[in-house]
Amino acid sequence: MISVKNLSKIYEPDGFIAVNHIDFEIPTGSIACIIGTSGCGKTTTLKMLNRLVEPSTGEIRVNNELAITYDPVEWRRKIGYVIQKAGLLPHMTVRENITLLSRILKRDKKHIVEKSNELLNMIGMDPNTFADRYPIELSGGQQQRVGIARALMEDPPILLMDEPFGALDPITRNSMHEELMYMNEKLHKTIVIVTHDMEEAFKLGNQVMLMNKGEIIQMGNEKDFKENPKNQFVEDFVSGQLG
């Protein structure tokens, strides 16, 4: 269970309130989607969960353990992170990118090769063809998929994904959706996905959180949003006029 209470982020020096006193809980093994217009605080919220951004107020717990009591690097070990635009290191091959953390942690060499092959197959990229390529030799969608494989290499119980399916064509996106739901079901990973796309949020999320100007406007499932939209903003968003 991820539990967030009274969480805010005020960016210095201008004092801009990017996230404004939000609360939510995400049960272990479920998928939550954070959605909202550009600049509403989605990425900031995600980055506070893994302490790449330190909160200005509030607290974050995972299974009742308080984030702030951990060393940030230690805290991030249990949280896989797929960043916007993949963020691969350009001077490293696909396999080197995927296995970087495992190599730093000195995992067994045979395990590293086998696990990275398994992940490459999972994302639909044959290791024989792709393992030794550099990021520049991949399409945007392939880079994004490598970013997902990298986040899974150390098998974290929690996976944070920032617009991970943005650059994918509809067919690849669909198969990545299936793979993600399979992973969630079979491996009981707790997954938090930031997306722009309400349809994607309803499809993947057990729980959808709609943000605007740093606040969570409404939280629930597709039925809640469609049958009981909290206000005009929610209605507009659900009907696809915003986002």
Ligand X SMILES: Nc1ncnc2c1ncn2[C@@H]1O[C@H](COP(=O)(O)OP(=O)(O)O)[C@@H](O)[C@H]1O
Phi, psi of 131 (to 5 degrees): -60, -35
Cβ distance to ligand X smaller for residue 130 or 163? 163
Cβ distance to Mg ion smaller for residue 35 or 131? 35
- 212 binds Mg ion per the rule CB under 5 A: no
Q: Looking at 35-43, 114-122, 148-156, 214-222, which segment touches Mg ion (CB under 5 A)? A: 35-43
161-220 positions binding ligand X, by CB under 6 A: none
* Binding residues for ligand X, total number by CB under 6 A: 11
Cβ distance to Mg ion smaller for residue 47 or 95? 47
26-55 positions binding ligand X, by CB under 6 A: 36, 38-44
Cβ distance to Mg ion smaller for residue 81 or 130? 81
* CA-based nearest residue to 7, from 38, 72, 64, 51: 51
83-142 positions binding Mg ion, by CB under 5 A: none
147 binds, among Mg ion, ligand X, none (CB under 5 to 8 A by kind): none
39 binds, among ligand X, Mg ion, none (CB under 5 to 8 A by kind): ligand X
The residue assigned the tokens 């969608």 is 141
CA 109 to chain centroid, in Å, comes to: 28
198 binds, among Mg ion, ligand X, none (CB under 5 to 8 A by kind): none
Out of 43, 172, 212, 218, the only residue in the binding site for Mg ion (CB under 5 A) is 43
- 18 binds ligand X per the rule CB under 6 A: yes
Smallest gap from residue 16 Cβ to Mg ion (A): 15
Q: Looking at 10-18, 121-129, 138-146, 152-160, which segment touches ligand X (CB under 6 A)? A: 10-18
Q: Side chain identity at 195, as an amino acid letter? A: T
* Helix residue ranges, H only, 52-197: 72-76, 94-104, 109-122, 127-130, 140-152, 170-187
* CA-based nearest residue to 166, from 200, 124, 189, 137: 200
Cβ distance to ligand X smaller for residue 84 or 117? 84
* Helix residue ranges, H only, the chain: 42-49, 72-76, 94-104, 109-122, 127-130, 140-152, 170-187, 198-204, 222-227, 232-238
Pairing of strands 57-62, 16-26: unpaired
Report yes or no: 47 and 30 within 8 Å, Cβ to Cβ: no
Report yes or no: 211 and 34 within 8 Å, Cβ to Cβ: yes
* Interface residues toward ligand X, by CB under 6 A: 11, 16, 18, 36, 38-44
